[in-house]
Amino acid sequence: MARPSSSTASTRAAEVPQASVELEAVTKVYGSGPTAVRALAGVDLRIEEGAFVAIMGASGSGKSTAMNIIGFFQSPTAGAYRFMGVDGSRLGRRQRTLLRRHFLGFVFQGFNLLARTTALENVELPLIYRGTAPAERRRLGLAALEKVGLAGREHHTSAELSGGRQQRMAIARAIVSEPALLLADEPSGNLDSRTSLEVMALLGGLNRDRGTADAGRGDQACTPGHQPQCSSRVPDHARHRHRRGCRDRPGDYR
Ligand SMILES: Nc1ncnc2c1ncn2[C@@H]1O[C@H](COP(=O)(O)OP(=O)(O)O)[C@@H](O)[C@H]1O
Ligand SMILES: [Mg+2]
């Protein structure tokens, strides 16, 4: 299988920024024997703090597989994956779950929203897993909905919202816990071209806002797939300061 190519819009600061994500010669093989599928074949990828990155490639080239490895849903068959300096192969199941909960936000392909549940309930879900108190959940949930332009729609169910608004709701759910890394798998794949541009602009804006307000913690990676109108939206503005000495690191959850 072809490797997904990567492009990063981040600009190197004078000091070398720390990598959030480092894949080194990562190979992923599904199955075994004659039916084995080599989804990734020796991929090297480095995503620095604050970067906004698109993983590009044709359908079947291994983009989702790469995202699943970066998000600790799958392990590489061979090669190394380090997240914020922590070697993924040393983490057990429970540690991976905690790491996902505390450091990562996901926008899944096809939204994965609960259809008959309100926007606010959907967005609060990651905070329930984190054990956040109800009043604080509500405050953070409303703030996340506002950030994605869904203020006033907190009581709508996802079934009542358009595709673009559902995607915004999925993004709000992914950012509500202020993740260090936001992963979005083909975030505009199911949307018309105008809506997909809006969604990419929203992701770029969130990255930029985090980059200045909270330098070094606003990383985002997304896979717009092979849609040129989306790749052109990966901004070239991303110029981030590297913040030293983040208080909590994934290693704290070992
Ligand atoms: N769970 C799986 N079991 C077997 N093959 C898989 C599995 N997931 C993906 N593949 C195969 O791995 C290759 C890469 O898939 P994927 O990572 O989904 O690519 P993309 O997201 O770029 O479309 C494809 O050939 C796909 O059929
Ligand atoms: Mg995919």
Tell me which ligand sits closest to the C-alpha of residue 1: 1
Mutate which of 35, 37, 108 for ligand 1? The one with the most ligand atoms within 8 Å of its CB, which is 37
User: For atom 17 of ligand 1, which residue has the closest CA?
Assistant: 62
Residue with CA at minimum distance from ligand 1 atom 27: 60
* 147 residue type, one letter: K
Q: Which of 29-43, 72-86, 102-116 has the lowest mean pLDDT?
A: 102-116
Q: Does residue 49 surpass a pLDDT of 90?
A: no
Average pLDDT, the chain: 78
Q: What is the pTM of this model?
A: 0.79
Provide the residue ranges of all domains of the chain, joining segments of one domain with +: 5-112+179-236
Candidates 3.40.50.10140, 3.40.50.300, 1.10.760.10, 3.40.50.1820; CATH matching 5-112+179-236: 3.40.50.300
pLDDT of residue 55: 87
Q: Which one-letter amino acid corresponds to residue 138? A: R
Distance CA 65, CA 215 (A): 28
Name, in order, each residue with C-beta under 8 angstroms of 57's C-beta and a sequence gap of 6 or more: 2, 3, 4, 5, 63, 225, 226
Measured in whole angstroms, how far is the alpha carbon of residue 1 from the centre of its chain?
Answer: 23
Q: Give residues with Cβ within 8 angstroms of 212, minimum separation 6.
A: none
Can you give the pLDDT at residue 109? 76
Ligand 1 atom 18 nearest Cα? 64
List the shell of residues around ion ligand 2, using CB closer than 5 Å: 63-64
The percent of residues above 90 in pLDDT, for the chain, comes to: 46
How does DSSP classify residue 4? P
Summarised one tens digit per residue, pLDDT across range 114-149 is 778 999 999 999 999 889 999 999 999 999 999 999
Of 59, 57, 65, 53, residue with least CA distance to 3: 57
Task: Kindly list the protein residues whose Cβ atom lies closer than 6 A to any atom of ligand 1.
Answer: 1, 30-31, 37, 39, 57, 59-65
pLDDT surpassing 80 at residue 215: no
Q: How far apart are CA 212 and CA 111, in angstroms?
A: 28
Q: Closest residue (by CA) to atom 12 of ligand 1? A: 39
Q: Is 72 left (phi over 0), alpha (psi -120 to 50) or beta?
A: left
Q: Are β-strands 78-83 and 19-30 bridged in parallel, bridged antiparallel, or unpaired?
A: antiparallel
pLDDT band with cut points at 50, 70 and 90 for residue 151 = very high
Give the full edge-to-edge strand order of the sheet including 19-30: 37-48, 19-30, 78-83, 86-87
Length of the chain: 254
Place of tokens 């490895």: 69
Nearest ligand to residue 68 Cα: 1
- How far is residue 70's CA from residue 146's CA, in Å, rounded to a whole number? 28
Query: According to the per-residue pLDDT averaged within each range, which of 49-58, 166-175, 188-197 is highest?
Result: 166-175
